Structures are given as structure tokens and as C-alpha cells.
Amino acid sequence: MNERISIHPKICHGQACIKGTRIPVHQVVRMFAHGDSVETLLAAFPTRPA
């Protein structure tokens, strides 16, 4: 698994998340798939880790 992705059964029902957050990876992928820009993604998750 990527060092920036974590999976834990007690966090977000075991879904893959951005490490140190509760941001599901599938949500980030979906935003990019729908044409959202990096800037939009960063604005949507202002508390994400650097």
C-alpha cells in the first residue's frame, strides 16, 4: 500500500483513506474523474496534510 494511504477497520468503515485524515481515496478519485482541478480538490479539503 502507498505510504500516503491507510486502511483501518475502525476508520471510515475500513475504506482506503488519505493517511492522517478521514478523506476517502475514492472521493478524491471521483473528483478528478468528474474533471475537478487540483485547486478545487485542495479547497474541498483545507485541513489535509501537506
Confidence of residue 1 (pLDDT cuts 50, 70, 90): low
15-48 b/e with 16+ CB inside 10 Å = b? Answer: ebbbeeeebbbeebeebeeeeeeeeeeeeeeeee
Q: Is residue 50 part of a domain?
A: no
**CA geometry: angle at 1 spanning 46 and 9, to 5°?**
75
pLDDT in tens, 10-28: 999 999 999 988 999 999 9
Q: Is residue 14 part of a domain?
A: yes
By residue range, what is the domain housing residue 39? Answer: 5-44
Q: Is residue 20 part of a domain?
A: yes
Q: What CATH number has the domain bearing residue 11?
A: 1.10.10.10
Q: Is residue 33 part of a domain?
A: yes
Q: What is the mean pLDDT of the chain?
A: 89
The pLDDT score that the predictor gives to residue 50 is: 59
The pLDDT score that the predictor gives to residue 45 is: 86
Q: Is residue 49 part of a domain?
A: no
Cell output for 31? 473528483
Our count of domains for the chain comes to: 1
Cell output for 30? 471521483
The pTM score is 0.76
Give the mean model confidence (pLDDT) for residues 3-15: 93
